[in-house]
Amino acid sequence: MLTLDPKQLSVSALQGYLSHAVAPRPVAFVSTIDKNGNPNLSPFSFFNLFSTNPPVAIFSPARSGRTNTTKNTHDNVLDVPEAVINVVTYDMVHQTSLSSSEFPKGTNEFVKSGFTMLPSEMVKPPRVKESPVHMECKVKEVIELGKNAAAGNLVICEIVLIHVSEAVLNENKFIDPHKLDLVGRLGGNWYVRASGNALFEVTKPSSPLGIGVDALPEKIRNSSVLTGNNLGQLGNVAKLPEREEVMAYKNQFLKNVSGEKEIHIIAKKLLDEGKVEEGWKTLLSLQNY
């Protein structure tokens, strides 16, 4: 394994390793205004949600790695402590990337990148009409992490109003990730698209507590077929199927199956399809009752 000391790396090399490893990162497409009312628009992938009550998001406009100058966004929120965080979808990612260019101070990136300004309701900076979700924010604090090139500046924002396009909602009025089609940032020029087969569900740890991987029978735990993800699925159940359930399942679906490896292959397919109970019944069919 390659071991790296951050102090022995150049800023660009360290940035490369970190941005590839800590990924994918959500993108905050942030609009701000300067003290003269000029709008600014720029994307930041050092960004996430950090609290629900109160609703707080933090993004970090880092100092330039080349010139050590601060971003216009950083300067703006110090003068006018408000911002709008807009989400970035696949359909707008190239325009969003264009807005990250180092245009001269005072340039309207809405115009340069072809986005439409939409008035906000509780803050002064405009929203991005083309984005399906806008979060109007009051900036609570800006924490400077250093004075060196590439040092971050944490902009702590309280979300005071949220706008969500009806087009990305499901029948229950919640956001549908398939309709939202977000992008995430990786290192270099790489992005990831959160749609299609890239989306999958993982059942949260059960309540009451699951039995854990350590409680799995040794032959299952050391299976050459089942993956670590499969073992995690099996360990997330609170209790195992009853003997009668297993025998009924075996007599209906596994009459002509007896080999351990074949059983594990069938169980893996079921687990990969999210059919954990059926997977357990298949594996337990080998047990002597």
Distance, in Å, from the CA atom of 214 to the CA atom of 212, rounded to the nearest integer, reads 5
Output the CA–CA distances (angstroms, integers) from residue 33 to 13, 152, 192, in the order listed. Answer: 33, 20, 29
What is the pLDDT at residue 125?
98
Which amino acid type is present at position 103?
A: F
Is the separation of the CB atoms in 238 and 211 below 8 Å? yes
What is the pLDDT at residue 53?
98
CATH superfamily of 6-198: Electron Transport, Fmn-binding Protein; Chain A (2.30.110.10)
What is the pLDDT at residue 289?
52
Q: Which helix (H) or strand (E) holds 261?
A: helix 260-272
Is the separation of the CB atoms in 126 and 39 below 8 Å? yes
What is the pLDDT at residue 189?
96
> pTM of the full predicted structure?
0.88
Domain ranges of the chain: 6-198, 213-284
Question: Chunked in runs of 10, what are the mean pLDDT values of the chain (289 residues)?
Answer: 96 95 97 96 98 98 92 97 98 96 91 96 98 98 96 98 98 97 97 94 84 94 96 94 94 89 96 95 84
Is the separation of the CB atoms in 111 and 126 below 8 Å? no
Buried b (16+ CB within 10 A) or exposed e, 154-169: bbbbbbbeebbeeebe
What is the pLDDT at residue 76?
97
